[in-house]
């Protein structure tokens, strides 16, 4: 996906788990504030009338959307899944943070197996 497509709000929606910065913690940012997602997240998702693919990025989003406490690695390995409504596909991905570089090195299957599927699903969603 090129930069202009990525930043086209009619094509791509980026929804954080919280719309406020929670502050710094040791080794990174604090988790999203607990009242944020319940207050606005479903309303925002309901506005996406042509949702094709949802990328669930990071542990907080994984817990919210999937209600899952499975390890992130296990969820990412599962690859593409259908949403419960079967209206769109979902993929769980690690957060694109430099702190996850060790995870990427320990899990070379992510680049070899998951990224090609992700690229294909994105192309399908955009067509």
**4 pLDDT more than 90:** yes
The Cα 53–Cα 127 span in angstroms is: 12
On the question of pLDDT at 84 being above 80, the answer is no
Quick count: other Cβ atoms within 10 Å of Cβ 75? Answer: 20
User: For 3-16, what is the mean pLDDT?
Assistant: 93
pTM: predicted TM-score of the whole model, two decimal places: 0.85
Q: Is 79 left (phi over 0), alpha (psi -120 to 50) or beta?
A: left
Is the pLDDT confidence value at 93 over 90? yes
CA angle 15, 17, 22 (to 5 degrees): 125
pLDDT at residue number 71: 86
* Separation CA 115–CA 118 (nearest Å): 5
> Rounded to an integer, what distance in angstroms lies between the CA atom of residue 91 and that of residue 99?
20
Residue 29: the pLDDT is 84
Q: What is the pLDDT of residues 17-73, one digit of tens each?
A: 888 888 898 877 888 898 988 899 889 999 998 899 999 998 888 888 888 778 889
CATH class of residue range 3-126: alpha beta
- Please report which confidence band the pLDDT of residue 110 belongs to, taking 50, 70 and 90 as the band edges: very high
pLDDT of residue 72: 85
Mean pLDDT of the chain: 89
Cα 64 to Cα 6, 8, 34, 106: the distances in Å are 24, 26, 11, 26
């Amino acid at each position: 996906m090129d930069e202009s497509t990525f930043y086209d709000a009619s094509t791509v929606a980026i929804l954080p788990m919280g719309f406020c910065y929670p502050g710094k913690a040791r080794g990174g940012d604090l988790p999203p504030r607990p009242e944020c997602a319940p207050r606005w997240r479903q309303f925002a998702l309901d506005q996406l009338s042509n949702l094709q693919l949802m990328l669930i990025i990071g542990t907080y989003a994984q817990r919210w959307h999937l209600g899952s406490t499975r390890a992130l690695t296990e969820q990412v390995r599962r690859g593409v899944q259908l949403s419960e409504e079967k209206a769109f596909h979902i993929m769980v991905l690690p957060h694109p943070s430099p702190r996850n570089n060790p995870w990427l090195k320990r899990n070379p299957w992510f680049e070899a197996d998951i990224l090609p599927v992700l690229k294909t699903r994105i192309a399908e969603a955009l067509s």
